[in-house]
Amino acid sequence: KQEVTQIPAALSVPEGENLVLNCSFTDSAIYNLQWFRQDPGKGLTSLLLIQSSQREQTSGRLNASLDKSSGRSTLYIAASQPGDSATYLCAVRTGANNLFFGTGTRLTVIP
Amino acid sequence: DAMVIQNPRYQVTQFGKPVTLSCSQTLNHNVMYWYQQKSSQAPKLLFHYYDKDFNNEADTPDNFQSRRPNTSFCFLDIRSPGLGDAAMYLCATSGGEATNEKLFFGSGTQLSVL
């Protein structure tokens, strides 16, 4: 069974720093990987989706990479801002409707 | 504008008292999903609809049912809520079952069981 792990569980950084969030998965037979943002008590907002054939995707200050063979993805956030504070979840898709989530990294950006 | 709308935002029910959560979408998507997310845990898929075709996950308790009367609406019924059912319930949609489809989530309903 696919297992998705995100380390660290929580991270605090001062405003302006660049940071990297990590996601690893046990079964490399995935179709895609998606990064989400979740604010406290709220739903999930999709940030980036990387197909299995792609190596990275970029949106504004966010860059997500995928190394399928090693079962790893990273989410790079440049020039972090207090508004980036949230929980970031990654999820891998292994079939038509099998989306496996990690438990997330809770990010705090300190002004 | 919100595309996946969940009501209510917060729901409090009593132990054993049936409760219904609702989800509507303006995206005209074929697939609708219900996820359960307990505190500090990953979202867990309960079931999904592809059009009117209902698909239940193997480990979803019988206590949970769902209805989809039309493309836009989907309901989650919890027949006899227990304390362990307190969680955030997330509705999501996607355009199809193709593996390159993104999922779009609503804001969730936080369920408390007293």
Secondary structure of B56-85 as H, E, C letters: ECCCCCCCEEEECCCCCEEEEEECCCCHHH
Mean pLDDT, to the nearest integer, of A63-83? 97
Look at residue A84 and give its three-state secondary structure. helix
Q: Average per-residue pLDDT in chain B?
A: 90
Judged by CB atoms closer than 8 Å, whether chains meet at B107 and A42 is answered as yes
Is the pLDDT score of B1 beyond 70? no
Higher pLDDT, A33 or B54: A33
Task: Kindly report the number of other CB atoms within 10 A of residue A5's CB atom.
Answer: 13
Interface probe, candidates B9, B89, B100, B104, chain A, greatest A C-beta count within 10 A: B100
Of B41, B99, B107, the CB nearest to A31: B99
Distance CA B31, CA B93 (A): 5
Higher pLDDT, B59 or A97: B59
Give the chain B residue nearest A106 (alpha carbons). B40
Among candidate residues A34, A111, A72, the one with its CA nearest the CA of residue B43: A34
**Position of tokens 């996820």?**
B35
Looking at CA atoms only, how far is residue B79 from chain A in angstroms?
A: 24
Is the pLDDT score of B68 beyond 90? yes
The answer to whether B107 faces chain A, any CB pair under 8 Å, is yes
Residue B102: which pLDDT band, with cuts at 50, 70 and 90?
A: confident
Q: Distances in Å between the alpha carbon of B69 and those of A48, A91, A95?
A: 32, 29, 26
Chain A residue numbers touching B108 (CB-CB < 8 A): 41-43
Asked whether the beta carbons of A91 and A99 are under 8 A apart, the reply is yes
Among candidate residues B87, B82, B96, the one with its CA nearest the CA of residue B21: B87
Chain A residue numbers touching B31 (CB-CB < 8 A): 97
Looking at CA atoms only, how far is residue B78 from chain A in angstroms?
A: 20
Q: Average per-residue pLDDT in chain A?
A: 93
